[in-house]
Amino acid sequence: MGVTKEILAEGNGPTPTKGTSVTVHCTGYGKDRDLQQKFWSTKDPGQTPFTFKVGLGQVIKGWDEGVLGMKLGEQARLTCTPDYSYGAGGFPAWGYPFSPISCMNLKFRMCTNFLVSLTVALML
């Protein structure tokens, strides 16, 4: 499967290209297999948004491919297979002892006047 994208709100601008710097605000859900339980957010105390260059392997493959297909202002949900998310080992520190199929809810802000939203929560 890789990654699939469900558009939640249409965007109206350009899409980022490989190497575009993206600043990300995100909240992940699904800790301990409970999709109502948040496991992490860049808006939590002490956390900050992070920046990566899209399409260069600096984040999980599902984010790289999903963000490359988004338009300015778009909000979407990505569903990723384990090989496009945290792999067979999961991410135990965030409550994932293994990597199930993942659905991620994130909000992305692109640097240099590029703004994209992506909604991400892990589905088990």
pLDDT given at position 109: 45
123 within a domain of the structure (yes/no): no
Maximum mean pLDDT: which of 31-40, 64-73, 81-90, 106-115: 64-73
Regarding beta strands 106-110 and 21-29, do their DSSP bridges make them parallel or antiparallel, or are they unpaired? antiparallel
- pLDDT, tens digit (0-9, with 9 covering 90-100), for 79-108: 777 788 777 666 666 655 555 555 555 544
* Higher pLDDT, residue 58 or 79: 58
Burial readout 31-59 (b: 16 or more C-beta within 10 A, e: otherwise): beeeeeeebbbbeeeeeeeeebbbbeeeb
pLDDT at residue 122 tops 70: no
Q: Which CATH number does the domain housing residue 63 bear?
A: 3.10.50.40
pLDDT given at position 30: 63
63 within a domain of the structure (yes/no): yes
37 within a domain of the structure (yes/no): yes
Closest CA to 28 of 15, 47, 13, 12: 47
pLDDT given at position 120: 43
